[in-house]
Structure 1
Amino acid sequence: MNQTTQVAGAPVPDQRLRDFLDRLGRTEPLAAPGLDLARLDCGRDALSSQGDDAPWRDAESGGLALTGADLSRARLDDADLGGANLRRAKLAGAVGRSARFTGAILEEADLTESDLSGADFTHVVAGQISLSQAMLEDARFGGAAMRFADFSEALLDGADFTRADLWGTDFTGADADDTVFRDARLDEAKLKDANLTHADFEGASLTKAVLTGSRLRGASFTGAKLDGADFSGTDLSDTNLVRLNLATCRLRHARFSGAWLNGTRMHVEQLGGAVGEEVAGDFAAAQASYLALEQNWKSIGDQDGASWAYKRGRRMGRHHAGAQAKASWAARNWRGVTRHGYRWIADRFVEWLCDYGESLSRITRAFVLLIGVFAVLYGMTGGLIILEGPEAGPTYNPLDLLSYSALNMMTANPPEIGLKPTGRVTNLLVGIEGAVGIILMGLFGFVLGNRLRR
């Protein structure tokens, strides 16, 4: 071990170092809040030359014996505490940027509100450690055993948890952009309301993990295990969810705008009736979300799910057009009012007529309604004439009017049932009804064909 070390550019006397090591030889736990140990080289390798019987060397870990030590607010910048036994140690508020804890024992240690940016926690044993509100940007936790650790509200941007055991760990409210969880075990972990933008969960296990309300925009779950995970209210925009099994997950009001969904197992019922973008009133994003879901359900052969997503997406387009029309009206932009208003009206009519080409019952309803409407119009004009018999002349009999209207709607030529239209207005109505009937029959056949193909 070095007998002098640099702290903030100034040499530390070897007496200071001897005093510190002397404290470690005492029987009671070390209590030295605010101690300056910056750049101290007390790693396992450095202590190996001191002999196994050195009083400051821990027999279990081979590093410094710091069990229960109170090092609150200590300065640990660039210090090497590799292999140290810090079980139940208190390091709350410590500053240890780029410190090294490789292979250390940190079970139940308290590092609340510490600044350990860039620190190396590779292969630490740290069950139930508290790192709540700690600053841990670019810290490395590869292979660490940290079951039931507390990272709530911690700053973890760029941290690396590759192959770490994080069973039951609490990341509630953590800020963890670009964090790496490759092949990590996060079963039953709490990631509620966390910012996990662009996080990498490739190959990770998140069985029964809770991610409600988290932001996972651009994250990758390639090969991840997600059985029973809770994604309710989660932002999965631009997220890679290709070929995953989400059938057992909770997806109520999750967001999927721009998500990569292909071959992903999931069901309509899991969404709670709407995607998160729709609930939030972001209709343009909701339309993109439903498009991603539609394409995914088509890829797995779920035509009913694809139909549901298609219809919801079209409705979102209509709502978006309505919102744009209102905004244009408020801004006195009459061109915008005309353009967006026309789109809203057209979409609303198509929805009423056939539910965007997905409902046979709505087309049938339109048939019945229009037959009745034209029957009333024929009666109002008095232009349907009975050609022969004692009742010859204009007819106002509802049965005659409905019969003629129905047959005229469903045939290409005016029906020959002893009734003849006379007058320009009546003949015009006959022509219009015939054209409408042709259009509706064609639409009915198109929708019926789609349903039969499914």
Structure 2
Amino acid sequence: MEPDAEETAAARARVDALLARLESAAFIGFSGGEARDLGGLPLGREALAARLGDTPQPPAWWDPKQAGFALAGADLSDAHLEDTDLTGANLAGANLAGALGRSAGFAGATVEEANFAGADLSGARFTGIAGGEANFDDAMLEDAHFGGAAMRFAKLRRALLDGANFDGADLWGADFTGADADYTHFRGARLDEVKLVGVNLTYADFEGASLKKTQLSGSRLRGANLTGVKLDGADLSGADLSETSLVRLNLSTCDLRHARFAGAWLNGTRMRVDQLGGAVGEEIARDYVAAQASYLALEQNFKSIGSQDAASWAYKRGRRMGRFHAGAQARAAWEKRMGPDLARHGYQWVADRFVEWLCDYGESLSRIARAFVILIFVFAVLYGLTGGLIPEGGDGRATYNPLDLVSYSALNMMTANPPEIGVKPVGRVTNLLVGIEGAAGIILMGLFGFVLGNRLRR
């Protein structure tokens, strides 16, 4: 006899013994190591249906309503089910906690309220199952197949789901809290009101899925495919969306507080500044380089949807992240006593801080006007201290009249040449101040015109 034939015959003999035991009046449940060893047995719907014969009364091991193996409520905890075929079986309420079921077949089975907690089900096939409220907490489900499964309110907390396939599954209200699900497929799945809090969903594929009111707070969606996803009312607070495609999605009803967007593809994505909670997640974590990239992505997106004020906000926040990064590098250089680095980063921080104060990185006309007013009064005080403004036709004594000093300073700031208002500057120091103030005025006027032009173009 060929080896495969020997294995088939042995499996058939084991199935015969199992079914006979199930039909025995003395059978009270699966117990003991041998009784729980169902590894590799063909116990699927087709294999068992061929054994029914013409008996009018179905045997105890057959569920006529389910048309499959009758295991409802069975205790199969820690059972050996590796490569076992249980397609179409009725496992409703069964206990399979800790079972070893790698590559087992559960396609079309009923597993409602069944307990698979802590089971090893890597590569198992659950396609088309009815699994409402089934418990897969802490189970190993790498590369398992749940395509088309009905699993409303199922529990998959802390489950290992790397590479699992839930395409087209109905997972309404399921709980994946703390699960590890990178490279998992959810194409076309229904994930409304699902808990995906703190889940690793790196490079997961959600194309065409529905995630309405789904809780994704703190989840890692780096590189995930969200093309055509419905996210109405979803909670994405603190989620990592870096390197994720969010093109033309409607996020206007989502909670985006402190979400991360560094490297994300944002274009035509509907969202508002007030949804971000004042800062992106990278800024909260003090990762200023990534925060700058995150604000750049947001700025480009806000421009694409015509929200210029929001784009201005994102641009200014991004520039501020550059200043914060320079400050952090300067502090590090100070602690390490690295003079050249301290000078370089310190200069960058001071320069950025000055530009922010002066014009809010080229976005604020009011700040430029404030600088005008401050410089006018500063130079008026300096003219008074030097005593270099002499009234024409007078006795040659300097004027200290505040109106004369402020008027001369203001007109000198606004015109290219020293003003002629009956007061003239005398002395090298005063003439030097006149030239410096005139140059500052020219620079500020040019900057004011540049910012005004930008605002008008918007």
> Which TM-score band applies after superposition, normalised by the shorter structure?
over 0.9
Q: Which residue of 1 aligns with 2:420?
A: 416
Tell me what 1:18 maps to.
Answer: 16
Report SS of the residue matched to 1:420.
Answer: strand
Contact 1:208 1:229 survives alignment (8 Å): yes
Partner deviation per Cα, 1:108-152 (whole Å, 9 max, x = no partner): 000000000011111111000000000000001000000000000
After superposition, the Cα gap between the structure-2 partners of 1:152 and 1:5, relative to the gap in structure 1 and judged at 3 Å, is farther
**Equivalents in 2 of 1:29, 1:126: separation in Å?**
26
Q: Which residue of 2 aligns with 1:30?
A: 29
Maintained 8 Å contact 1:63/1:84? yes
Kindly indicate whether the alpha-carbon contact (under 8 Å) linking 1:5 and 1:39 is maintained by their aligned counterparts in 2: no
| Whole-Å separation in 1 of the counterparts to 2:11 and 2:279 | 67
Report how far residue 336 of structure 1 moved: 1.0
Name the counterpart of 2:208. 203
Q: CA RMSD in A?
A: 1.8
Aligned counterpart for 1:406 among listed residues 406, 410, 433: 410
Secondary structure of 2:40's aligned partner: coil
Gaps of 5+ in 1: none
SS, match of residue 446 in structure 1: helix
Which among 161, 166, 178 is matched to residue 166 of structure 2? Answer: 161
Kept in 2: contact 1:6–1:38 (CA 8 A): no
Q: Distance in 2 between matches of 1:113 and 1:5?
A: 34
**Whole-Å separation in 2 of the counterparts to 1:203 and 1:143:** 14
Q: Could you tell me how far apart the structure 1 residues matched to 2:28 and 2:383 are?
A: 102
Contact 1:4-1:14 at 8 Å conserved across structures: no
Q: Does structure 1 residue 285 correspond to structure 2 residue 290?
A: yes
Q: Distance in 1 between matches of 2:359 and 2:214?
A: 42
Match of 1:299 among 299, 304, 308: 304
TM-score (norm 1): 0.95
**How many residues of Structure 1 are paired with residues of Structure 2 in the alignment?**
448
Distance 1:363 1:29, change over 3 A: farther
1:298/1:306 contact within 8 Å kept: yes
Cα distance in 2, alignment partners of residues 97 and 114 from structure 1? 9
CA distance in 2: counterparts of 1:279 and 1:123, whole angstroms: 43
Amino acid at match of 2:401: N
Corresponding residue SS for 2:424: strand
Cα deviations by residue, 1:133-188 (Å, 9 ceiling, x for unpaired): 00000001000000000000000000010000000010000001100100000000
**Within the alignment, does 1:96 sit opposite 2:88 as a pair?**
no
Task: State the Cα distance separating 1:14 from its structure 2 match.
Answer: 5.4
Written as runs of structure 1 = structure 2, the 5 A alignment for 1:2-151 is 12=10, 16-25=14-23, 30-32=29-31, 34=33, 35-51=36-52, 53-151=58-156
TM-score, L = length of structure 2: 0.95
Aligned to 1:326, which of 309, 331, 338? 331
1:28-74: per-residue Cα shift (whole Å, max 9, x none)?
87333651111111111212211273432221222211111110001
CA contact (8 A) 1:4 1:13 kept: no
Match of 2:196 among 168, 191, 198: 191
Q: Identify if the C-alpha distance between structure 1 residues 33 and 418 changes in structure 2 by more than 3 Å, giving closer, same or farther.
A: farther
Q: Does the CA contact (< 8 Å) of 1:216 and 1:239 recur in 2?
A: yes
Query: Once the 2 structures are TM-superposed, how far is the Cα of residue 6 of structure 1 from its aligned partner?
Result: 5.3
Give the 5 Å matches for 1:211-360.
Answer: 211-360=216-365
Q: Find out whether 1:431 has 2:435 as its counterpart.
A: yes
SS in 1 for 2:38: coil
Contact 1:33–1:73 (8 Å) recurs in 2: no
Q: Which runs of 5+ in 2 are unaligned?
A: none
Which residue in 1 is equivalent to 2:399?
Answer: 395
Amino acid in the other structure paired with 2:91: L
CA distance in 2, matches of 1:22, 1:123: 29
Q: 1:29 to 1:386 in 2, by over 3 A?
A: farther
d(CA) in 2 for partners of 1:411 and 1:138?
75
- Could you tell me whether the CA contact under 8 Å between 1:38 and 1:75 is conserved in 2? yes
Residues 142/86 of structure 1: CA separation in 2 closer, same or farther (3 Å cut)? same
Displacement of 1:437 in angstroms is 0.4
1-structure distance, mates of 2:223, 2:24:
52
Q: 1:384 to 1:41 in 2, by over 3 A?
A: same
Counterparts of 1:16 and 1:255, CA distance in 2: 56
After superposition, residues 356-371 of structure 1 pair within 5 angstroms as 356-371=361-376
Distance 1:335 1:436, change over 3 A: same
Cα distance in 2 for residues equivalent to 1:305 and 1:364: 23
Superposed CA offset, 1:424-448 (max 9, x none): 1111111110110011111111111
Higher mean alpha-carbon deviation, 304-313 vs 26-35, is at 26-35
Amino acid of the structure 1 residue aligned with 2:51 = Q
After TM superposition, give the deviation of residue 19 of structure 1 in Å. Answer: 3.1
Residue 36 of structure 1 aligns with an amino acid whose one-letter code is: D
Residues 282/135 of structure 1: CA separation in 2 closer, same or farther (3 Å cut) = same
Give SS of 2:69's match.
Answer: coil
Q: Is the CA contact 1:29–1:67 (under 8 Å) kept in the aligned structure 2? A: no
Identity of aligned residues (%): 68
In 2, Cα distance between equivalents of 1:254 and 1:317 = 19
CA contact (8 A) 2:11 2:41 kept: no
Contact 1:409 1:437 in 2 (8 A): yes
- Code of the aligned partner of 2:154: A
- List per-residue Cα deviations over 1:182-205 (Å, max 9, x = no partner): 000000000001111111111000
- Contact 1:96 / 1:115 at 8 angstroms: preserved in 2? yes
Secondary structure of 2:453's aligned partner: helix
Structure 2 residue identity aligned to 1:354: C
TM-superposed deviation, 1:452: 1.8
Q: Is 1:293–1:309's contact at 8 Å kept on the other side of the alignment?
A: yes
Measure the CA separation in 2 of the matches of 1:23 and 1:61.
Answer: 21
Q: Look up the equivalent residue of 2:193 and give its one-letter code.
A: E
Stretch of structure 1 that moved more, 300-309 or 323-332: 323-332
Q: Deviations over 1:253-272 (max 9, x none)?
A: 11111111110000000011
| Alpha-carbon separation, structure 1, partners of 2:81 and 2:403 | 96
